[in-house]
Structure 1
Amino acid sequence: MYDRLNPSWEATAIYRARVRGSLLGGAVGDALGYPVEFVSLDRIRALHGEQGVTGLVPDGAAVVGRITDDTQMTLFTVEGLRQARVRERHRGTDDDWSRLVRDAYGRWFDTQRLSGPPAGAEGLAAQPWLYARRAPGNACLSGLAQDFVPEPEAALGRPGRVNSESKGCGAVMRSAPFGLTRVPADIAFGRAARSAQTTHGHPTGYYSAGAFAAIVAHLVEGESLEGAVLRALRLLARHPGHEETTSALRGALDLAAEGAPTAEKVQTLGAGWVGEQALAIAVYCALVEPDVRRALLLSVNHSGDSDSTGALCGNLLGARHGDHGLPQDWLEQIEGRAEITVVADDLAAECAQS
């Protein structure tokens, strides 16, 4: 029974709801956008009406609610971070976080090469539904094919060793969990950015991941979305080469102040194929539209990377409102919902101990 006289219990319950909300919200946005990824706005409207997509629709295989590599990689990020927190609790050091997250991405990489779980697979690698290959990003695949683990304290601000020209959204779309672990926002920023260098070496590619993790960290602590973005901008300003990411976020804030949202306004922020544009679209949609359902729909009805922008927007909305603030009718149709909830609760339980 809920105990209103125990604020520590209440705080723990709110935290768990926000972790659940961020992971499940990301999956909802991913599933909303997947069927219309690579589809122009005009074509979306021709297929689904002037309002575009108004709910979960079948994908190319006539299945509703399927998630993509965005949610897959996000879940493997959680697995690596949870293992790092367990290691920290038992050994008193968090120096292994970068290697454990990279190892988790290696397990995701295997899901894209194998038809199903190998003998003895454990954790997420034992889940057959995660072995679907749904347009994974080239930078993620090529980066993980290399044997590279970023240094936990590696310098930022210059091209990384792997895919030094890549700033695609494959780094930012998997980075919400860094902000869910109850570490300070600047630490979440640094870890997400350094982990992004595993696959995306362009500063904008990894700074967008860092900024997103910092925003999520502030939301989990109860900050407003606008306040969280402004604080992330102050973090960005400390790092050389932040200008593209900063400009994109400021553009989202400015656009949100210009009145009622439209799909055409969304498209002025870009198509979402690169990290800073995907982040800007997600922030704009979550900020300008107070209704969660309408915000998610706004984030996928455009001529671009609809599943990634939808996933990021869902991560933000879920971290702000918790899982009970998400459309329950959509949640019921999401592939892997039960497993995602377990993954979320395991992370929240581990992080709540410290």
Structure 2
Amino acid sequence: MTLTLEDRITGSLVGAAVGDALGGPVEGWTPEQISERHGGRVRGIVGPFHGDDWRTARPIAPYHKGDGHVTDDTLMTHALIRVYGTVRDHLTAYSVADHLVPDLISTPRWIPELEAEALPLQRIFLAEKWIVARIHYGHVDPREAGSGNIVNCGAAMYMAPVGLVNAGNPAGAYAEALDVAGAHQSSYGREAAGVFAAAVAEACAPGATPTSVIDTCLSLAKDGTRSAIEAVCEAASGHTDFETALRPLREAVAPYDTVGPDYRKPSLAARRPSRAHAIEELPIALGMLLVGNGDYRHTVLGSVNYGRDCDSIATMSGAIVGALHGEGAIPRDWSKTVAEASRLDLLSPARELAAVTREIFTQDTARRRTHESAFTTLTAR
């Protein structure tokens, strides 16, 4: 069956949200701790790691991670879609300043992990609060606002919409995401945002495969990001079961990951700009894509059981697989539970983004024809 643009966009966004919700309750833990807590590997939606003590148990409190609740990965993804819905064209760092920042600080929304309406600013992580501090209060040039922020996956985790708007055009997605992410991140955090958007754009292309997605990422990625993806995917190529791949993938990414072996106690060199390093989440998501051979359940559960920042890993791998195979690849019981538990309509953002994507393509075509006409005149003899 030939998947439509709408099929792929819906699959990607729903796939990302479900992956996020599955990974949230075990974020920050090791595969061994996850297995001990759940009596084996996580195979679906589970409750909070600390059970009914989630309100007070540190370091999770006060967030209700689990039971199908999405995290800030999905909240930021939906916020970026709202920006596309307003601008209805390609975005830049100035779009973040003009629209995303006001959305985060002025409009209360339902926050699943808080089980209350609140400003998104009150839920997002420090690396995202940075956008508000730098742009709204500091009046920094949006194109440079990401400089000085901790370098992590904060910008990459919500860049799937950029890839979808540029469906089938990974180079365009990479360039646009680098511009948008400049308001948020620098160094390998910004690079990962560009490469992830490119991965999603390639996954939308007719005939795309997990291998073609990896090849596209390697053709665009720079410095440590490219090296990390190459190392992790080489390690992943020898596995078809995530159980055997968990340790080899961690060992492959470790030389490039600045956080260190204890996720909750980052090293002194953690999250600092570097040309030799990479975020952990994107290479692992791509590695799990290969291990799972593009199967949604296998790919995302591998991402979840990897632990560490597994909600973001599963968000990324879920977005890519969803773009490859459409919404039908995502277990219906999972997406239904996540939508109900999070009190989110997972389909409306996809419909909105698909409509905007068609509008942008029409504008791109007109701009290209204008350029062609001008070039033809310039080169006429």
TM-score range relative to shorter protein: 0.7 to 0.9
Long gaps (5+) in structure 1: 1-9, 89-93, 119-127, 152-159, 237-241
1:207 aligns with 2:191: yes
* TM-score (ref. length: structure 1): 0.79
- Equivalent residues of 2:236, 2:249 under 8 A apart: no
- Equivalent residues of 1:84, 1:97 under 8 A apart: no
Cα distance in 2, alignment partners of residues 132 and 340 from structure 1: 17
2:335 is aligned, of 331, 334, 349, to: 331
Change (3 A) 1:150 1:161: closer
1:247 aligns with 2:253: no
Larger radius of gyration: 2
Matches within 5 A, 1:130-141: 131=119, 136-141=124-129
Cα distance in 2, alignment partners of residues 105 and 149 from structure 1: 15
Cα distance in 2, alignment partners of residues 224 and 337 from structure 1: 33
1:343 maps to 349
Matches within 5 A, 1:160-309: 160-164=144-148, 166-182=150-166, 184-201=169-186, 203-222=187-206, 223-236=208-221, 242-260=222-240, 261=242, 262=244, 263-268=246-251, 269-270=253-254, 276-290=279-293, 291-309=295-313
1:311 maps to 315
Long gaps (5+) in structure 2: 49-53, 55-63, 111-115, 264-270, 272-277, 363-381
2:101 maps to 106
Q: Structure 2 counterpart of 1:48, which letter?
A: H
* TM-score (ref. length: structure 2): 0.73
Matches within 5 A, 1:45-194: 45-50=35-40, 52-59=41-48, 60=54, 61=64, 64-85=67-88, 88=89, 97-110=92-105, 116=108, 131=119, 136-147=124-135, 148=140, 150-151=142-143, 160-164=144-148, 166-182=150-166, 184-194=169-179
Percent of residue pairs bearing the same amino acid type = 28
Cα distance in 2, alignment partners of residues 117 and 213 from structure 1: 26
Cα distance in 1, alignment partners of residues 247 and 29 from structure 2: 15
Cα distance in 2, alignment partners of residues 39 and 133 from structure 1: 25
Q: Deviations over 1:73-98 (max 9, x none)?
A: 0111112123222xx4xxxxx5x643
**Residue-pair matches, total:** 310
Which one is further off, 129-138 or 207-216?
129-138
- Equivalent residues of 1:83, 1:100 under 8 A apart: no
**Cα RMSD (Å):** 2.8
Change (3 A) 1:331 1:207: same
Change (3 A) 1:199 1:338: closer
Cα distance in 2, alignment partners of residues 282 and 69 from structure 1: 18
Which one is further off, 264-273 or 54-63?
264-273
Cα distance in 1, alignment partners of residues 109 and 336 from structure 2: 25
Cα distance in 2, alignment partners of residues 97 and 316 from structure 1: 23
- Equivalent residues of 1:69, 1:133 under 8 A apart: no
Cα distance in 2, alignment partners of residues 134 and 31 from structure 1: 19
